[in-house]
Structure 1
Amino acid sequence: MSTIRYSKQREAIKDYLKSVTCHPTADTVYLNIQKTFPNISLGTVYRNLNFLVEHGEAIQIDCGDGFVHFDGNPIPHNHFFCRACKCLLDIKMDSIEHIDIIANANFPGKIEGHTVIFHGLCEKCCQKEHC
């Protein structure tokens, strides 16, 4: 078993992800971490983001906008993606974990989780369009 070395850069990336709710892309993380670590490379940011995801300290979200977004909250929760302004938001709602049980009853394999991303217009865009 290999020991995982501590990394100030990885810790800064993790802290940044936990401090924001905007679900940033790797480029956004890079631009913000570069303020503290001016010599950090985009590749290092990608490697550390992937490390955090692989070790359950962050999640990645693909909402169909051509970018992978990252979330510092690895606890299962649902998201909303605005088709107009492209914001990605957390949705606070009762758990729908029971959907895995329903799906498993109708699927010959084994479902181990799900990802839910609701799509539509956020509150601000809905006000602009007079929803």
Structure 2
Amino acid sequence: MSNTMVKDAISKLKHANIRITPQRYAILEYLIENRTHPTADEIYKSLEHQFPNMSVATVYNNLRLFTKIGFVKEMSYGDASSRFDFSSTRHYHAICQSCGKIVDFHYPGLEDVEMAASELTGFEINEHRLELYGICPDCQAAESEEAK
């Protein structure tokens, strides 16, 4: 599955006349294989042993490129570290308030919310993002262990 996604993404890059560098390939592969919504720094730290001459700026520049092309979404939360999400299909996120883990979930599109928001506010709505916050199962288990 992830191999097919990498091949599809690479063919989109080639179609857009974007050179496939080994670093670019590795960043893309990392995003597809690690569905953890990593930060640029996390990607850099995971790949620096493989590419000792690669800089954090290279990672950021490639993430911006992938975002511009449209198959990576930048998830910024107001702090300094955006997270990046390889997105082949529309999905939403559940975020743990304890450890920060982000888990994807699929739900029927909420385009009706966009239409309602447009009618209520007069805004021309371009897109939406749904995030639900709570405590993940691992943190729930840790909390119940601590309570004992």
The TM-score, its normalising length taken from structure 2, stands at: 0.77
Count of residues in correspondence between the two structures? 129
RCO higher in 1 or 2 (8 Å CA, sep ≥ 6)? 1
Structure 2: give runs of 5+ residues left out of the alignment: 1-15
- Alpha-carbon RMSD: 1.9
Q: 1:110 aligns with which of 91, 106, 124?
A: 124
1:39 equivalent in structure 2? 53
- C-alpha deviations, 1:22-55, integer Å up to 9, x for none? 1111011001222321210111111111111111
User: Which has more helix, going by share of residues?
Assistant: 2
Bigger mean CA deviation after superposition, 2-11 or 38-47: 2-11
Q: How does 1:19-30 map to 2 (within 5 A)?
A: 19-30=33-44
Q: 1:80 aligns with which of 81, 94, 101?
A: 94
Q: Is the 8 A contact 2:92 2:105 kept in 1?
A: yes
Bigger mean CA deviation after superposition, 92-101 or 81-90: 92-101
The TM-score, its normalising length taken from structure 1, stands at: 0.86
Q: 2:108 aligns with which of 86, 94, 98?
A: 94
Identity value in percent = 32
Q: 1:16 aligns with which of 30, 34, 42?
A: 30
Mapped to 2, the partners of 1:34 and 1:116 lie a distance apart of 33
Q: Is the 8 A contact 1:59 1:74 kept in 2?
A: no
Q: Do structure 1's residue 119 and structure 2's residue 133 form an aligned pair?
A: yes
Cα drift, residue 97 of structure 1: 2.6
List 4+ stretches of structure 1 deviating above 6 A.
none
Bigger mean CA deviation after superposition, 95-104 or 59-68: 59-68
Structure 1: give runs of 5+ residues left out of the alignment: none
Q: How does 1:59-74 map to 2 (within 5 A)?
A: 59-63=73-77, 66-74=80-88
